[in-house]
């Protein structure tokens, strides 16, 4: 990596520093880094943050994803902390069953089960540990990419080492923006987002049970109640998840406070049986980028598409 940003952007005769630069070290970037290093490519990863994201996010992946994680070499690491989900039920406002989406419990055509429940930080740590153990990628945490200069045979990536406030650059044949919903790489590609007109605010809560609560069940439940759409899903071990839509008329000053959350959860659970582990208020979007590649720039993951998790 060069310390100083020079102006001869595309004039270098030397080989690019890397085959692929991955911007963003969330699950998409970490998975891609594993797959590319397995193929012997020289990879660099730039990640703005120091640690994996800690707020509640994904809880479910399918057998096809597990097959990818198997290829990456982390299936056995993940297994003790996965729960095989029996499926999902959709209930109407009267509690009547509308859809029973039971999933087969055994091994399916992917060589894995159809539905796994997981804890996203576990997955991200496993991907990072595997990449580090295998080697072949230079990973730069606390490095924020702010500009890309495209040349005929490479891209120059300009970034800030935010731990030191130092500007520098590196070159790669290709850049993949795995940089999430507000992707910088997407902006450099110039692709627009098609807005599928769903912008909803939800409070997402993970609780840790303090004893057995078999009555909550192993199925995910989509409460399709127009008065308050809500999702319940179980995680591995004693972690349980509720996702609660914010409704017109909710008191803005109280939304997402522990009191507000316990009031919403009261029909299922109280502080006598569980502790709040973590919660977040999200505005979910349903958008898809109109083009995921231009020349040597590509996007993947949330940079390319986002969907609200309600109803899976």
Ligand X SMILES: Cc1cc2nc3c(=O)[nH]c(=O)nc-3n(C[C@H](O)[C@H](O)[C@H](O)COP(=O)(O)OP(=O)(O)OC[C@H]3O[C@@H](n4cnc5c(N)ncnc54)[C@H](O)[C@@H]3O)c2cc1C
Q: Which of 148, 89, 78, 140 is nearest to 113 (CA)?
A: 78
- In the range 95-114, which residues lie near ligand X by CB under 6 A? none
Number of C-alpha atoms within 13 angstroms, CB side, residue 224?
11
Interaction mask 189-208, ligand X, x per CB under 6 A: ---------------x----
Please count the helices (runs of H) and the strands (runs of E) in the chain: 6, 19
Q: Is 126 in the site for ligand X (CB under 6 A)?
A: no
Q: How many residues bind ligand X (CB under 6 A)?
A: 30
Q: Of 18, 20, 21, 26, which lies in the binding site for ligand X, with binding defined by CB under 6 A?
A: 26
Alpha carbons 97 and 227: distance in angstroms, whole number: 17
Q: Of 18, 21, 36, 61, which lies in the binding site for ligand X, with binding defined by CB under 6 A?
A: 61
- In the range 291-310, which residues lie near ligand X by CB under 6 A? 301-302, 309
Q: Is 60 in the site for ligand X (CB under 6 A)?
A: yes
Q: Is 27 in the site for ligand X (CB under 6 A)?
A: yes
In terms of CB distance, is 16 or 301 closer to ligand X? Answer: 301
CA distances from 73 to 92, 138, 310 (A): 41, 19, 30
Which span sits near ligand X by CB under 6 A: 50-58, 213-221, 245-253, 269-277? 50-58
In terms of CB distance, is 17 or 302 closer to ligand X? Answer: 302
Cβ(114)–Cβ(63) below 8 Å: yes
Phi-psi region at 44: left, alpha or beta (left = phi > 0; alpha = psi -120 to 50): beta
* Cβ neighbours of residue 294 closer than 8 Å, sequence gap 6 or more: 189, 190, 191
- Write down the least CB distance from residue 55 to ligand X, Å: 8
Q: Is 28 in the site for ligand X (CB under 6 A)?
A: yes
Q: Is 34 in the site for ligand X (CB under 6 A)?
A: no
Alpha carbons 189 and 181: distance in angstroms, whole number: 14
Give the residues lining the site for ligand X (CB under 6 A). 23-29, 46-49, 53, 56-61, 120, 144-145, 178-180, 184, 204, 282, 301-302, 309
């Amino acid at each position: 990596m060069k310390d100083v940003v020079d102006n001869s952007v595309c004039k270098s005769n030397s080989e690019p520093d890397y085959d692929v630069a991955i911007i963003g070290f969330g699950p998409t970037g970490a998975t891609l880094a594993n797959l590319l290093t397995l193929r012997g490519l020289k990879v660099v990863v730039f990640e703005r943050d120091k640690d994996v994201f800690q707020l509640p996010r994904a809880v479910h992946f399918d057998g096809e994803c597990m097959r990818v994680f198997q290829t990456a070499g982390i299936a056995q690491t993940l297994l003790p902390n996965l729960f095989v989900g029996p499926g999902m039920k959709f209930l109407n406002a009267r509690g009547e069953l509308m859809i029973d989406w039971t999933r087969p419990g055994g091994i399916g055509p992917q060589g894995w089960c159809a539905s796994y429940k997981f804890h996203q930080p576990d997955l991200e740590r496993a991907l990072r540990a595997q990449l580090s153990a295998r080697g072949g990628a230079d990973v730069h945490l606390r490095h924020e990419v702010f500009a890309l200069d495209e040349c005929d045979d490479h891209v120059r990536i300009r970034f800030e080492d935010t731990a030191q406030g130092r500007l520098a650059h590196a070159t790669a044949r290709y850049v993949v923006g795995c940089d999430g919903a507000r992707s910088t790489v997407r902006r450099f590609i110039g692709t627009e987002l098609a807005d599928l007109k769903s912008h909803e605010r939800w409070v997402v809560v993970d609780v840790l049970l303090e004893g057995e609560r078999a009555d909550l069940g192993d199925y995910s439940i989509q409460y399709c109640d127009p008065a308050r759409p809500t999702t319940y899903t179980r995680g591995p071990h004693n972690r349980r998840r509720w996702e609660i839509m914010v409704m017109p008329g909710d008191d803005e000053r109280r939304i997402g406070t522990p009191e507000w959350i316990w009031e919403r959860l009261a029909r299922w659970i109280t502080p006598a049986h569980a502790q709040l582990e973590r919660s977040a208020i999200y505005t979910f979007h349903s958008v898809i980028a109109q083009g995921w590649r231009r020349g040597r720039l590509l996007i993947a993951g949330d940079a390319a598409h986002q969907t609200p998790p309600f109803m899976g």
